[in-house]
Amino acid sequence: MLKIYDCIATAHDLRLVLLAGVVCALSSYAAVGLLRHARNSIGATRSIWLAVSATTIGFGTWATHFIGMLAFSPNVPTGYNVTLTVLSLVAVIVLTGVGLAIAAHAKSRVGMAVGGVVIGGGVAAMHYTGMAAYEIAGTVVWDVALVAVSIALGAMLGAAALPVGLKNSTETWKINGALLLTAAICSHHFTAMAAVTILPDPRIVVSETAIPSTWIAIGVGIASFTIILLALAGLALDLRERRRSDLEGDRMKGLANAAVEGLLICDGNDIVTVNDSFGQLIACETSHLVGASVEECFVDPAIWDLLKAHPNKALESTLRRQDGKQVPVELILRPIDFGGRVHHVVAVRDLQARKRNEEHIRFLALHDGLTELPNRTFLNTRMDEEISLAQSRGEKFAVLCLDLDRFKEINDLFGHLAGDNVLKTVANRVKAVLTERQIMARLGGDEFAILMPSLSSPSEAGRLADTVIAALRVNGGTPETNTISSSVGIALYPDDGTDKQTLLTHADTALYRAKSDERGSYRFFEAKMGAEVRDRRFLEHDLRHALARNELRLVYQPQKNLQTGQITGFEALLRWEHPTRGDVSPAIFIPIAEESDVILAIGQWVLNEACREAAGWSKPLTIAVNVSAVQLYQARFVQTLHQTLIETGLSPHLLELEITETALIRDFTRALHTLRGVKALGVRIAMDDFGTGYSSLSNLRAFPFDRIKIDRSFVKSVHTNDQAAAIVRAVLGLGRGLNLTVLAEGVETADELNFLRNELCDDVQGFFIGRPGAIETFSDRPLESCDLEVTLRNAS
Which chain residues interact with ligand C2E by CB under 6 A? 557, 573-574, 585-587, 590, 603, 606, 626-628, 658, 688-689, 712, 746-748, 766-767, 772
Report the C-alpha gap between 712 and 718 in whole angstroms: 10
Shorter beta-carbon distance to ligand C2E: residue 439 or 590: 590
Shorter beta-carbon distance to ligand C2E: residue 675 or 747: 747
Q: Going residue by residue from 616 to 655, which x/- string records binding to Ca ion, judged by CB under 5 A?
A: ----------x-----------------------------
Shorter beta-carbon distance to ligand C2E: residue 503 or 627: 627
Q: How far is the CB of 629 from ligand C2E (least distance, A)?
A: 9
Q: How far is the CB of 576 from ligand C2E (least distance, A)?
A: 10
Q: How far is the CB of 788 from ligand C2E (least distance, A)?
A: 17
Shorter beta-carbon distance to ligand C2E: residue 274 or 602: 602
The entry of ligand C2E, Ca ion, none that residue 262 binds, CB within 5 to 8 Å by partner kind: none
The entry of ligand C2E, Ca ion, none that residue 574 binds, CB within 5 to 8 Å by partner kind: ligand C2E
Shorter beta-carbon distance to ligand C2E: residue 397 or 556: 556
Interstrand relation of 552-561 and 763-764 (parallel, antiparallel or unpaired): antiparallel
Interstrand relation of 315-320 and 326-338 (parallel, antiparallel or unpaired): antiparallel
- CA 478 → CA 297, 412, 442, 446, 483, distances in Å? 54, 16, 22, 18, 10
Close Cβ partners of 185 (under 8 Å, ≥ 6 residues apart): 24, 28, 60, 61, 64, 123, 154
The entry of Ca ion, ligand C2E, none that residue 586 binds, CB within 5 to 8 Å by partner kind: ligand C2E
| Strand stretches in 120-211, DSSP E | 134-136, 138-142, 196-200
DSSP state of 212: P
Contact 178, 28 (CB under 8 A): yes
Shorter beta-carbon distance to ligand C2E: residue 90 or 555: 555
Shorter beta-carbon distance to Ca ion: residue 133 or 664: 664
Residues paired with residue 265 on neighbouring β-strands, in sequence order:
273, 345
Q: How far is the CB of 689 from Ca ion (least distance, A)?
A: 4
Residues paired with residue 350 on neighbouring β-strands, in sequence order:
329
Report the C-alpha gap between 634 and 655 in whole angstroms: 19
Contact 53, 38 (CB under 8 A): yes
Q: How far is the CB of 439 from Ca ion (least distance, A)?
A: 44
Shorter beta-carbon distance to Ca ion: residue 89 or 663: 663
Q: Which has the closest alpha carbon to 440: 350, 348, 376?
A: 376
Contact 405, 520 (CB under 8 A): yes
Report the C-alpha gap between 663 and 93 in whole angstroms: 114
Shorter beta-carbon distance to Ca ion: residue 400 or 708: 708
Report the C-alpha gap between 740 and 443 in whole angstroms: 48
Q: 196 in the Ramachandran plot: left (φ > 0), alpha (ψ -120 to 50) or beta? A: beta
Q: How far is the CB of 752 from ligand C2E (least distance, A)?
A: 9
Q: 624 in the Ramachandran plot: left (φ > 0), alpha (ψ -120 to 50) or beta? A: beta
Q: How far is the CB of 706 from ligand C2E (least distance, A)?
A: 16
The entry of ligand C2E, Ca ion, none that residue 763 binds, CB within 5 to 8 Å by partner kind: none
Tell me the site size for Ca ion, rule CB under 5 A: 5
Shorter beta-carbon distance to ligand C2E: residue 435 or 585: 585
Shorter beta-carbon distance to Ca ion: residue 595 or 661: 661
Shorter beta-carbon distance to Ca ion: residue 453 or 691: 691
Shorter beta-carbon distance to ligand C2E: residue 378 or 570: 570
Q: How far is the CB of 484 from ligand C2E (least distance, A)?
A: 24
Q: Which of 238, 368, 658, 661 binds Ca ion (CB under 5 A)?
A: 658
Shorter beta-carbon distance to Ca ion: residue 399 or 602: 602
Shorter beta-carbon distance to ligand C2E: residue 103 or 574: 574
The entry of Ca ion, ligand C2E, none that residue 746 binds, CB within 5 to 8 Å by partner kind: ligand C2E
- Cα separation of the two ends of the chain: 159
Q: How far is the CB of 355 from ligand C2E (least distance, A)?
A: 57
Q: Which has the closest alpha carbon to 181: 21, 395, 319?
A: 21
Q: How far is the CB of 743 from ligand C2E (least distance, A)?
A: 11
Q: ω before 200 within 30° of 0 (cis)?
A: no
Contact 24, 64 (CB under 8 A): yes
The entry of Ca ion, ligand C2E, none that residue 447 binds, CB within 5 to 8 Å by partner kind: none
The entry of Ca ion, ligand C2E, none that residue 748 binds, CB within 5 to 8 Å by partner kind: ligand C2E
Question: Which residue has the CB atom at the shortest distance from Ca ion?
Answer: 658
The entry of Ca ion, ligand C2E, none that residue 143 binds, CB within 5 to 8 Å by partner kind: none
Angle at 270 between CA 267 and CA 272, to 5 degrees: 65
Close Cβ partners of 675 (under 8 Å, ≥ 6 residues apart): 632, 659, 685, 703, 704
- Torsion from C-alpha of 158, 163, 166, 167, nearest 10 degrees: -150
Report the C-alpha gap between 734 and 638 in whole angstroms: 28
Shorter beta-carbon distance to Ca ion: residue 626 or 648: 626
DSSP element (H, E) containing 272: strand 270-274
* Long-range CB contacts for residues 45-54, cutoff 8 Å, separation at least 24: 46/104, 50/97, 50/100, 50/101, 50/104, 51/97, 52/230, 52/234, 53/97, 53/100, 54/93, 54/94, 54/96, 54/97, 54/100
Q: How far is the CB of 661 from ligand C2E (least distance, A)?
A: 12
Q: How far is the CB of 443 from ligand C2E (least distance, A)?
A: 30
Query: According to the 3-state scheme, what is the secondary structure of 516-578?
Result: HHCCCCEEECCCCHHHHHHHHHHHHHHHHHHCCCCCEEEEEEEEEECCCCCEEEEEEEEEEEE
In 3-state terms, what secondary structure has residue 11? helix
DSSP state of 77: -
Kindly identify the residues of this chain, within the stretch 686-705, that bind Ca ion according to CB under 5 A: 688-689
Report the C-alpha gap between 380 and 395 in whole angstroms: 19
Q: How far is the CB of 549 from ligand C2E (least distance, A)?
A: 18
Q: How far is the CB of 643 from Ca ion (least distance, A)?
A: 23
Q: Which stretch binds Ca ion (CB under 5 A): 171-179, 203-211, 221-229, 741-749?
A: 741-749
Contact 99, 158 (CB under 8 A): yes
Kindly identify the residues of this chain, within the stretch 670-689, that bind Ca ion according to CB under 5 A: 688-689
Shorter beta-carbon distance to ligand C2E: residue 85 or 628: 628
Q: How far is the CB of 578 from ligand C2E (least distance, A)?
A: 14
Q: How far is the CB of 547 from Ca ion (least distance, A)?
A: 21
Please tell me the number of Cα atoms within 13 Å of 260 on its side-chain side. Answer: 3
Q: How far is the CB of 616 from ligand C2E (least distance, A)?
A: 19
The entry of ligand C2E, Ca ion, none that residue 386 binds, CB within 5 to 8 Å by partner kind: none
Kindly identify the residues of this chain, within the stretch 742-781, that bind Ca ion according to CB under 5 A: 745
Binding site for Ca ion (CB under 5 A): 626, 658, 688-689, 745
